[in-house]
Each structure stands twice: as structure tokens, then as C-alpha cells.
Amino acid sequence: MRPSIKEILLMNPDTDTRTVYGWVRTKRDSKNVCFFELSDGSCLKNLQVIVDKEKYNPDDILAKLTTGAGVEVDGLLVESPGANQSVELQASEIRILGEAPAESYPLQKKRHSFEFLRDIAHLRPRTNALGAVTRVRSTASFAVHRFFQDRGFYYIHTPIISASDCEGAGEMFQVTTMDLNNIPKTGGSVDYTHDFFGKSAALTVSGQLEAEIYALSHSNVYTFGPTFRAENSNTARHLAEFWMIEPEMAFCSLDGNMDTAEDFIKYVIGYILEHCAEDMELFNKFIEKGIVDSLASVVNSEFHRVTYTDAMKELEKNKAKFEFEPSWGVDLQSEHEKYLTEQVFKGPVIVTDYPKDIKAFYMKMNDDGKTVRAMDVLVPRLGEIIGGSQREDSLEKLTARINDMGLEEKDYWWYLDLRRYGSVPHSGFGLGFERLIQYMTGMQNIRDVIPFPRTVHNAEF
């Protein structure tokens, strides 16, 4: 394979003419020389190309070297006198592969707002910031697999179309082949026996229930896939389609679960700091000042751990500060999460043992009968990035819980079977991948850390 610009920038000057490919980022022209910068997306840095107009001066081609144009350049890699790079390309011939007329190309040199770029999601990966996000996201995906594979976890492909609502929150997108203008009904309600699957089906909100099946055969497993939630929340941290990583571990209690979550987050951050240093420097300078040092200190310190009840006491002491009044039994609002992580603990914190009424049916009940073995990992700037728990492993208690919550026992027959046959303590969690990318890059809006964000009224690209 031909070397990328990232590789070329690390090479020594050579004596043979080579051909380089990329898109023009900027151009400076003077009487005798023309400089332009080429990018091929392989790294943040561009390759500088110099055209000595006394030796080579095709006016028509130089005029077409506008920002965004795709080109092929023959030239010699020479030592660069400039301070920014050690090598540059002395062009001997340039071929324009695809023009990008300056009058109409939307990405000109100046910095564009992220809002503006969202409307041109087909061009925004060509910008420095979105280009860096793209590389960090890819590298982080690899780190996720690496973390679990190195520790003997098996990667399970859980289904995207599912008939069970894992979180019981009713925020599912239905999947149907029925004609919406002519829906078959019996006795006033939809008759799903005529639908593709013969029953109501939806896009998954979580692969957890299916991951539990495999944890109870392979001990340590994980999923990493797209997840869908029809939440009508227009915030900077919610998507209708996001990627979630969900490990599930047999013979594991809530403490083991917290340890894995903490090690996992630190590992991915450490991996990015090491392997994406150049891109991280961009975020450090332009997006979130000081983020590199602050992430490095996260890797080197322990996460705080606090029960929901104690966290609530801390919040109640400062009631006046909040729009939503904190009180035992209500869910933590994002202002509460922010306060805990930024003011009280000044770093990531794991909150455990939430009231049962604000958590899903599958969490293990504590002896107090009021709280469950839940854990949420909260981080500064964002709030919750992980939600997890030890799972209820008693058939009796789980059945009671399903009934209490008004769910249908028959919909969960196979999930209950796991408690009937060889049930063992097990735990797991879900990490929102986009929230982790936001945390690591400092990008404020979740729509800017996924290539094609799906949100309310938005699925153009």
C-alpha cells in the first residue's frame, strides 16, 4: 500500500520521485514559489508542497489548487527549512483529480461553527476538529476491544431488532412491515400476528439481557453496538442512535463491576493519550483548555465511590443551588451530577445503591428492600457516562419485581429461565461510547462526536 501522509511525514528525505495524494487545505502564492498544504486524513498535520515556479509553472493547474481540491503530486521529499515539519515535497508535476471551486465550496479557511458544520455532515470530516474526532473515535473503538480481549472477554453480537424492552422505559422505535395506512386490528388493538415477526418488535435499547445469556455460559462477555432510544430530549448528551459497550460478568458482584468500569475508562483514556497525542493537543488548545493534564490525572487517581443516600445528603446541604430540589427518592438531575463531580468530588465518582423505584427491574435488591445494587459512573462536564448493576439472580425476587412494575412475566420467560437453571451472581454495565468520546475530547455537543447524529427531527445524512 502507498504510504499515508502520516507515514511520509516521518520519513527521511529521499532521492527518488514519489507520488503523493490528498486534498488541498491552504495555499500561499508568491511570484516565484507556491506553497500548499495537503491532507489525506491520516493525521492532523499536513504535508507541505512547494512549487518552484521557475522550474514548473502550469498556471492553469496552480489556479485550480483551491481548498478542497483533490490532487496527485509527483515530487521529491526534501528536508524542510520550516520549523513545523522535517520534510516537505518539492513538486515536479501536479494533476488535479477533482476541483473544488472556491466560489461554492462551503469549507473555506476560517473556523466554522460546529452548528454550521452539522448541516454539512458530508463535508465536516475534512475540518481539523472533526477530523481529529474521527481518528480518536476509531482508536478508542480499538482500545475498547483490546481492553476486553486482553482480559479474556468474548465479543457477543446481540440483536439490533428485539422484542424486549430492557430498560422498561418504553422509549423504543418500532420495527414493522405493516402498511401504516391500513393496520390490521382485532378488538380495537393492533394485531401483530400479521406483522413480519408475528409480534411487536423494536430496535434495541440495550444488549444487556442477551449479554446475560452469554455471561451465564462464557462467564465474561461484552457487546459493542448501536443502541436506539426514542427519547424526546434535545440535549447536548442525548442521541436517538448511539453506540454502547456492555460487559457482563458472571461470578461478579457490584464491587468487581465498579473495579472493571474504573479500569476500563482509565485504560481507554490512557490509550488515547498515548496514541492520539497530536489530535489531543488540538482539543487541549482549542476545545477544552487543560484537558490533557486533567485526563492524565484521572488515569492516575482513584474514582470516588459514594452511595446515593450519602450523595443526596451532600446535595441537600446545598438545596438553594439547584433548580430541581434534591430529595431522597428522586433521580439525580444533570445539575446534581455536575455539582457532585465538579464541586464535591472534583473528579469521576461512582454513585451506588439507588432507590429501587428509579432503576430498572433487573437490578439486585439490597437487604433494606428499598435500594438496589446499582452503580452510575459520573464525570465532570457530562454527568453519567456509565450505568450498571449487579443483576437480580433470585427467581423469586425477580418475578416479584417484574409483576410489581407492571411488566408481563411471559415476555421475560427466557430471562427468568436464566434464574431457574444455574443462576449465579453476575454484574455488568453500559458505557455510552459517544459520552466517553465527549469526555476525552472536550467536545460539548454529542452530535459532533458521531459521524451522522440521529436526533429528534434529524436524520438527513
Residue with cell 444487556: 208
Among ligand 4AD, Mg ion, none, what binds residue 255 when CB lies within 5 to 8 Å by partner kind? none
Q: Does 67 interact with ligand 4AD (rule: CB under 6 A)?
A: no
430, 437, 440, 448: which one binds ligand 4AD (CB under 6 A): 430
**How wide is the angle at C-alpha 52 spanned by C-alphas 48 and 56, nearest 5°?**
115
Q: Does 348 interact with Mg ion (rule: CB under 5 A)?
A: no
Q: Does 428 interact with Mg ion (rule: CB under 5 A)?
A: no
131, 326, 387, 388: which one binds Mg ion (CB under 5 A): 387
Q: Does 429 interact with ligand 4AD (rule: CB under 6 A)?
A: yes
- 447, 239 in Cβ contact below 8 A? yes
Q: Does 153 interact with ligand 4AD (rule: CB under 6 A)?
A: no
- By CB atoms closer than 10 A (0-12, 13-18, 19+), residue 79 is exposed
Could you say which DSSP state residue 414 is in?
A: H
* Whole-number Å distance between alpha carbons of 237 and 433: 11
Site map (CB under 6 A) of ligand 4AD, residues 368-387, x = contact: ----------------xxxx
Residue with cell 516565484: 32
Residue with cell 528536508: 79
CB atoms within 10 A of CB 355: 17
- By CB atoms closer than 10 A (0-12, 13-18, 19+), residue 329 is exposed
Is beta strand 87-98 parallel, antiparallel or unpaired with respect to 349-352?
unpaired
Q: Does 364 interact with ligand 4AD (rule: CB under 6 A)?
A: no
Q: Does 246 interact with ligand 4AD (rule: CB under 6 A)?
A: yes
Q: Does 231 interact with ligand 4AD (rule: CB under 6 A)?
A: yes
36, 147, 153, 242: which one binds ligand 4AD (CB under 6 A): 242
Q: Does 419 interact with ligand 4AD (rule: CB under 6 A)?
A: no
Where are the alpha helices (H) located in 276-331, listed in sequence order?
277-282, 291-299, 308-316
Of 208 and 455, CB closest to Mg ion? 208
- Binding piece for Mg ion, criterion CB under 5 A, among 132-140, 269-277, 319-327, 384-392: 384-392
Q: Contacts with ligand 4AD: how many residues (CB under 6 A)?
A: 23
Non-local CB neighbours of 86 within 8 Å, separated by 6+ positions: 9, 79, 80
- Binding piece for Mg ion, criterion CB under 5 A, among 13-21, 299-307, 308-316, 383-391: 383-391
Give the residues lining the site for Mg ion (CB under 5 A). 387
Give the residues lining the site for ligand 4AD (CB under 6 A). 166-167, 206, 208, 229, 231, 238-239, 242, 244, 246, 384-389, 428-430, 432, 434-435
